[in-house]
């Protein structure tokens, strides 16, 4: 059962991040946007860590996190944003929604893998 | 040439060696690159991606003013967005010119006095003043993201240039809106499908051959990375931006390979060459900035973060 959910509208990013995590022995599922992310999270109760982009069509990443906490009532899943956004206002919104961490792209797997393993339990 | 400032290419159509030499000196002094072409290849060249800013045409090109008028009419029909600046023998105005030539030429000057030519170059080519920090920053941002997406490849950026033509480069392009308090417009990233597929394939020689969907994903992500960094560094007051929600439709004509942003705007153009040092194969990524919706370089700002709170990209910042 997948423990990590990677949410990004870019197939290039999904393949890169999910591939890297799988090479480190982690179980990973992916989603195309915020709406898909919510649906996949509902369908995969074992997920412990969500890694998500912010700017996505259909539903952006921060709205997805707010709905994870609100509509899904899931306060325990750890969420890390992986995004081009770095504005303080965006990060504050993330913090308020219960986001655990923030990474500004590009993704550098070696710098974050140990932290990801901890967050995924 | 002024180091670091964008240049522009001008097509020089002049049969007089003495005047061509004078124009060459003028180009060297004014950040222009003069290009020459044989008469029988002119129209083919104008249909290709040579990124022109203007045409410098002699009144007697081709041997007579009538012949020059024919050439001007052909150019104007094919590439109406390119300004034609006419060198006259003695009369600095358009008086006495055949109607066709007077209509096609946007300005005239005489060889004895190049001062008006300088003014015309500023008006028709370098009409927007691009802050040096912006030009340097764009190249820096984009080269870094190309490096990240194409590990092991070398990345080189040509001198930026100002372009007036509207010809699409390659077969694939991304288009994204740029929004800030001091400028609004678009960024395009254009490339050739096969060259890019070849390079992606060489990066993963043991994998299945890539198809256009992977290329689309790669180009989309490159666009996202560059756009995000541009926004972070140059974004102004978000509330000021909310007061200007104007958008205009963008027209792409695949048959004619042209794109229009609603008017004839100059494009700030950068070309990046990504090369596989092992095979020597390269792909060109053509990047354009068209600030067609709003431009006020006097309000240009660049965001600087406090050293204490700066987190490197790729590093996890825990809350």
From B218, B313, B319, residue closest to A104, measured CB to CB: B313
- At residue A52, the pLDDT reads 97
Name the phi and psi angles at B186, rounded to 5.
Answer: -140, 155
CA distances from A72 to A61, A67, A76, A77, B226 (A): 15, 6, 11, 11, 34
- At residue A45, the pLDDT reads 86
Strand order, beta sheet including B316-318 = A28-31, A4-7, A49-52, A78-83, A101-104, B316-318
Query: Comparing C-alpha atoms, which of A33, A35, A44 is closest to residue A7?
Result: A33
Half-sphere exposure of B130 (CA within 13 A, CB side): 22
| Closest CA of chain A from B196, distance in Å | 14
- At residue B307, the pLDDT reads 41
Cβ-based interface (< 8 Å): residues of A facing B: 10-13, 15, 55, 80, 83-87, 89, 91, 94-95, 99-108, 111-112, 115
Contact B314 A115 (CB under 8 A): no
From B148, B224, B235, residue closest to A10, measured CB to CB: B224
| Closest CA of chain B from A48, distance in Å | 16
pLDDT band with cut points at 50, 70 and 90 for residue B308:
very low
Which of A106, A112, A119 should we substitute to test contact with B (largest number of B Cβ atoms within 10 Å)? A106
CA dihedral B207, B143, B152, B198 (to 10 degrees): 40
Contact B221 A112 (CB under 8 A): no
* Predicted confidence (pLDDT) at residue B306 exceeds the cutoff of 50: no
Percent of chain B with pLDDT over 90: 51
pLDDT digits (tens, 9 = 90+) for B98-134: 999 999 999 999 988 888 899 989 888 888 889 988 9
pLDDT digits (tens, 9 = 90+) for B201-223: 999 888 889 988 888 888 888 99
Which of B146, B177, B224 should we substitute to test contact with A (largest number of A Cβ atoms within 10 Å)? B224
- At residue B199, the pLDDT reads 94
Report which secondary-structure segment, H or E, holds B65.
Answer: helix B65-78
Residues 6+ apart with CB under 8 A from B283: B191, B192, B195, B196, B198, B199, B273, B274
Contact B217 A80 (CB under 8 A): no
Q: What secondary structure, in 3-state letters, does chain A show? A: CCCEEEECCCHHHHHHHHHHHHHCCCCEEEECCHHHHHHHHHHCCCCCEEEECCCCCCCCHHHHHHHHHCCCCCCCCEEEEEECCCCHHHHHHHHHCCCCEEEECCCCHHHHHHHHHHHCC
CATH fold of A4-119 reads Rossmann fold (3.40.50)
Sign of CA dihedral A4, A6, A12, A13: negative
Average model confidence (pLDDT) across chain A: 93
pLDDT band with cut points at 50, 70 and 90 for residue A119:
very high
> Across-strand partners of B295?
B183
* Predicted confidence (pLDDT) at residue B310 exceeds the cutoff of 60: no
* Predicted confidence (pLDDT) at residue B294 exceeds the cutoff of 90: no
pTM of the model: 0.78
Contact A115 B316 (CB under 8 A): yes
* Percent composition of chain B: helix, strand, coil (DSSP 3-state, to 5): 35, 25, 35
CB B202 within 8 A of CB A79: no
* Predicted confidence (pLDDT) at residue B237 exceeds the cutoff of 90: no
Q: Is the minimum CB–CB distance between B228 and chain A shorter than 8 Å?
A: yes
**A78-83/B8-13 β-pairing:** unpaired
pLDDT digits (tens, 9 = 90+) for A65-99: 999 999 889 999 999 999 998 888 889 999 999 99
Contact B224 A104 (CB under 8 A): no
Name the phi and psi angles at A12, rounded to 5.
Answer: -60, -45
pLDDT band with cut points at 50, 70 and 90 for residue B9:
very high
Contact A112 B314 (CB under 8 A): yes
> Cβ-count burial of A18 within 10 angstroms (0-12 exposed, 13-18 middle, 19+ buried)?
buried
- At residue B102, the pLDDT reads 92
CB B273 within 8 A of CB B282: yes
Topology match between the domains B8-124 and B132-303: no
Report ipTM for this prediction.
0.78
pLDDT digits (tens, 9 = 90+) for B152-202: 999 999 999 999 888 888 888 888 888 877 888 899 999 998 999 999 999
pLDDT digits (tens, 9 = 90+) for B18-44: 999 999 999 999 999 999 999 999 999
CB B243 within 8 A of CB B124: no
Contact A111 B231 (CB under 8 A): no
CATH fold of B8-124 reads Rossmann fold (3.40.50)
Query: Hey, where are the domains in chain B?
Result: 8-124, 132-303
Q: Is the minimum CB–CB distance between B207 and chain A shorter than 8 Å?
A: no
Tokens 């002699």 map to which residue? B58
Q: Coil, strand or helix: which one is B15?
A: coil
Q: How is residue A92 written in tokens? A: 């504050």
Strand intervals (E) in chain B: 8-13, 32-35, 52-58, 84-88, 107-110, 154-157, 161-163, 172-179, 183-191, 251-253, 258-260, 267-275, 282-295, 316-318
Contact B214 A12 (CB under 8 A): yes
Tokens 């990590």 map to which residue? A4
Q: Is the minimum CB–CB distance between B227 and chain A shorter than 8 Å?
A: yes
Task: Please determine, looking at this structure, whether the domain spanning B132-303 carries the CATH number 3.40.1550.10.
Answer: yes
Contact A83 B218 (CB under 8 A): no
| Closest CA of chain A from B318, distance in Å | 4
User: Residue B139 has what DSSP assignment?
Assistant: H
From A80, A86, A108, residue closest to B232, measured CB to CB: A86
Put simply, the chain B residues between 102 and 161 with a CB less than 8 A from any chain A CB are 145, 148-149
C-alpha A78, offset from chain centre: 8
């Amino acid at each position: 059962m997948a423990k990590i959910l990677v949410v990004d509208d870019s197939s290039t990013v999904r393949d890169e991040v999910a591939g890297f995590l799988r090479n480190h022995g982690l179980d990973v599922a992916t989603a195309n946007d915020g709406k898909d992310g919510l649906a996949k999270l509902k369908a995969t109760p074992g997920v412990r860590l969500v890694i998500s982009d912010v700017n996505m069509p259909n539903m952006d990443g921060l709205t997805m996190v707010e709905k994870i906490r609100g509509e899904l009532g899931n306060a325990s899943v750890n969420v890390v944003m992986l995004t081009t956004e770095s504005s303080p206002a965006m990060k504050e919104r993330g913090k308020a929604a219960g986001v655990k961490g923030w990474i500004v792209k590009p993704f550098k797997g070696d710098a974050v893998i140990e932290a990801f393993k901890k967050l995924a339990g | 040439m002024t180091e670091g400032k964008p240049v522009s290419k001008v097509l020089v159509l002049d049969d007089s060696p003495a005047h061509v030499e004078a124009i060459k000196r003028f180009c060297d002094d004014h950040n222009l690159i003069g290009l020459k072409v044989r008469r029988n290849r002119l129209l083919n060249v104008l249909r290709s991606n040579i990124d022109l800013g203007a045409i410098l045409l002699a009144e007697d090109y081709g041997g007579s003013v009538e012949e020059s008028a024919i050439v001007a009419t052909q150019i104007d029909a094919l590439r109406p967005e390119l300004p034609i600046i006419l060198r006259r023998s003695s009369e600095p105005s358009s008086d006495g010119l055949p109607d066709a030539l007077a209509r096609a030429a946007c300005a005239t000057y005489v060889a004895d006095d190049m001062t008006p030519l300088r003014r015309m170059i500023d008006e028709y080519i370098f009409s927007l003043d691009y802050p040096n920090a912006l030009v340097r920053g764009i190249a820096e941002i984009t080269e870094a993201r190309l490096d990240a997406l194409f590990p092991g490849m070398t990345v080189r950026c040509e001198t930026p240039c100002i372009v007036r033509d509207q010809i699409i480069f390659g077969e694939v392009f991304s288009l994204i809106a740029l929004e800030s308090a001091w400028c609004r417009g678009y960024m395009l990233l254009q490339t050739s499908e096969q060259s890019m597929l070849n390079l992606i394939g060489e990066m993963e020689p043991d994998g299945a051959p890539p198809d256009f969907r992977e290329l689309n994903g790669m180009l989309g992500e490159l666009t996202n990375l560059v756009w995000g960094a541009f926004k972070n560094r140059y974004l102004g007051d978000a509330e000021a931006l909310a007061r200007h929600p104007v958008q205009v439709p963008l027209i792409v004509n695949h048959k004619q390979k042209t794109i229009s942003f609603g008017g004839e705007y100059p494009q700030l153009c950068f070309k990046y060459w990504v090369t596989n040092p092992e095979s020597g194969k390269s792909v060109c990524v053509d990047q354009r900035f068209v600030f067609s919706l709003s431009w006020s370089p006097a309000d240009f700002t660049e965001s600087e973060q406090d050293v204490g709170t700066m987190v490197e990209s790729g590093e996890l910042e825990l809350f």
